Amino acid sequence: MRVTLAAALARADQPFRTSVTGEPRAPLCGMGVCHECRVTLGDDAHQLACMVPDEARAPAPHAAPRELRCEVLVVGGGPAGIAAARAAHAAGADVLLLDEHPALGGPIYRALESPWPAPPRVAHRTRVVAALGDGLLAEDDAGALLVRHRVLVVAPGARELLLPFPGWTLPGVFGAGGLQLLAKGGWPVAGKRVVVGGTGPLLRAAAAGLRKLGARIAGIAELAPAGRIARFGVRLAAHPGKLAQAAALSAALVRVPIWSRARVVRAHGEAHVTAATVEIAGRARTIDCDLLAVGFGQVPSIELPLLLGCAVADGGVVVDALGATSVPGVYCAGEATGIGGIDKAIAEGEIAGAAAAGRAPHPRLLRRRRRALAFAQALAACFPAPRDWAGVVDDDTIVCRCEDVRWRALRDATDVRAAKLHTRAGMGACQGRICGPALAVLRGFPHGTIRPPVAPARLETLTRQ
């Protein structure tokens, strides 16, 4: 287990940041999206403690901008990115893989040993900041990095959909997948009472993983009705591997209460969560807990593709059969093209990587992707995001965590631009990655505009001096 700085701080009972209005905050997403875990290391502010190894020290003085060149550049070190890089390398291309985390594997495997061999050239802890005319501007611990390439494959993955409710900004409230990721990185969960809520199979996977690490799961509140879940279970017979996974999760959660048509509507506590109110078939019940983990599925991470000018539809990047986007020389693979799981991500990565290197993909890869897409469609139909979440929030509920913007200020906003202009919602460190999808659910707002930098960066990087 690779222990993160966030976990080390939690074990030492050290506080994290306070919000712009002085509220205590703590990590939420576990994957470097929410920026609630940011700390200062040496002279470097805004370092994300959930992504920094515990042994990390203040970085060395920043070097002058460096330049790297490659034929095929892959951005994103999850299953799709690794598959793309390996396929392009196997086709004879000179490949470079960039990933912002200290280890490859994506959220599923990052804290463990990846089951796939790494491609030959990998740049860890390297975050893309902006798109240039002939390459990408990135940043690592040493400073600015200019990456020139012939073909680009973007595999930015997805992030958890997190919806606001009263009390959700309390320390101890996490995304369901976020707490699982943090626990894999050493966050203390053994002996803790945990309530898990939201919708989707990730809830059960997170609960099983937390239980394995010693957590006491007080219950799982699933939005979907039991009948719909049962019908989905019958469809799993056509996917034996998925059926075996579901059976293993059920065995791992024996004697854990699982409530259908249930939702977490409030977190209670002062400086830390102490209880959660759960509505079960319309009846409220308050459950004592030490940790609360809530998630509502995933949303594609499309910021970099948007910055590159790629067409987007239905929340995902539009690609052809080979993974090519609307921008010449740019391919996209994995969850950014639409949520579909690891099988879809790997198949699309192999297809896009081969195509980027000029090799036609094997027909079996196209069949694998079609099969994975069929499963993804069934999954989305069973576990849709809630459509009536505005009934859960009240006027005092914070929607934009970075800027402490409350629902009363956003309720009548006409679009994302108006929300930004009048409330600063979406203008904080996470750049709308948390509140943007929430407002899409609450108000139906489409994704906002994207401008560089797409991630916090040093001034030296932005000026490239």
Identify the weakest region by mean pLDDT among 120-124, 260-264, 319-323, 347-351.
120-124
Q: Please give the share of the chain, as a percent, with pLDDT higher than 70.
A: 95
* pLDDT value at 64 more than 90: no
* pLDDT value at 438 more than 70: yes
* Cα–Cα distance measured from residue 137 to residue 145, given in angstroms and rounded to the nearest whole number: 6
Q: In whole angstroms, how far apart are CA 445 and each of 100, 103, 150?
A: 29, 34, 35
At residue 463 the predicted structure's pLDDT band, cuts being 50, 70 and 90, is confident
* pLDDT tens string 387-420: 899 999 999 999 999 999 999 999 888 888 888 8
SS3 content of the chain, % helix, strand, coil (to 5): 30, 25, 45
Burial class of 286 by CB neighbour count within 10 A (0 to 12, 13 to 18, 19+) = exposed
Confidence (pLDDT) at 42: 77
Burial class of 61 by CB neighbour count within 10 A (0 to 12, 13 to 18, 19+) = exposed
Buried b (16+ CB within 10 A) or exposed e, 396-421: ebbbbbbbbbbbebbeebeebeebbe
At residue 114 the predicted structure's pLDDT band, cuts being 50, 70 and 90, is low
The tally of CA atoms less than 13 A away on the side-chain side of residue 117 is: 7
Distance of CA 358 to the CA centre of its chain: 31
User: Six-digit token pair at 376?
Assistant: 């993804």
At residue 44 the predicted structure's pLDDT band, cuts being 50, 70 and 90, is confident
User: 66-159+299-381, what's its fold?
Assistant: FAD/NAD(P)-binding domain (3.50.50)
* pLDDT tens string 209-263: 999 999 999 999 999 999 999 999 888 888 888 889 999 999 999 999 999 999 9
At residue 109 the predicted structure's pLDDT band, cuts being 50, 70 and 90, is low
**Domain locations in the chain as residue ranges:** 66-159+299-381, 162-297, 397-443
298 in Cβ contact with 205 (< 8 Å): no
* pLDDT value at 335 more than 90: yes
Single-letter code of the amino acid located at 348: E
Identify the residue whose tokens are 């626990």: 183
* Cα–Cα distance measured from residue 127 to residue 138, given in angstroms and rounded to the nearest whole number: 5
* pLDDT value at 40 more than 90: no
SS3 398: strand
* pLDDT tens string 161-201: 999 999 999 999 999 999 999 999 999 999 999 999 999 99
Confidence (pLDDT) at 456: 81
DSSP labels, 9-36: HHHTT----B-TTS-B----SSSSSS-T
DSSP state of 358: T
Single-letter code of the amino acid located at 7: A
* Cα–Cα distance measured from residue 121 to residue 332, given in angstroms and rounded to the nearest whole number: 19
323 in Cβ contact with 351 (< 8 Å): yes
Residues 50-63 have a mean pLDDT of 68
At residue 106 the predicted structure's pLDDT band, cuts being 50, 70 and 90, is confident
Angle subtended by helix axes 363-382 and 226-235, to nearest 10: 160
CATH of the domain spanning 162-297: 3.50.50.60
Phi, psi of 87 (to 5 degrees): -65, -40
Single-letter code of the amino acid located at 20: V
SS3 397: coil
27 in Cβ contact with 37 (< 8 Å): yes
Closest CA to 303 of 128, 51, 103: 128
* pLDDT value at 116 more than 70: no
Closest CA to 431 of 412, 415, 455: 455
Identify the weakest region by mean pLDDT among 109-118, 213-222, 391-400, 427-436.
109-118
132 bridge partner residues: 135
Beta strands of 91-163 (E only): which ranges? Answer: 95-98, 122-123, 127-132, 135-140, 143-154, 158-160
Closest CA to 72 of 54, 51, 49, 97: 97
Single-letter code of the amino acid located at 81: G
Maximum Cα–Cα distance across the chain: 61
Do 162-297 and 66-159+299-381 have the same topology in CATH?
A: yes
SS3 221: strand
At residue 30 the predicted structure's pLDDT band, cuts being 50, 70 and 90, is very high
Q: Residues 92, 145, 159, 416: what is their CA dihedral angle, to the nearest 10 degrees? A: -130
The helix (run of H) or strand (run of E) holding residue 242 is helix 240-252
Q: Please give the share of the chain, as a percent, with pLDDT higher than 90.
A: 72
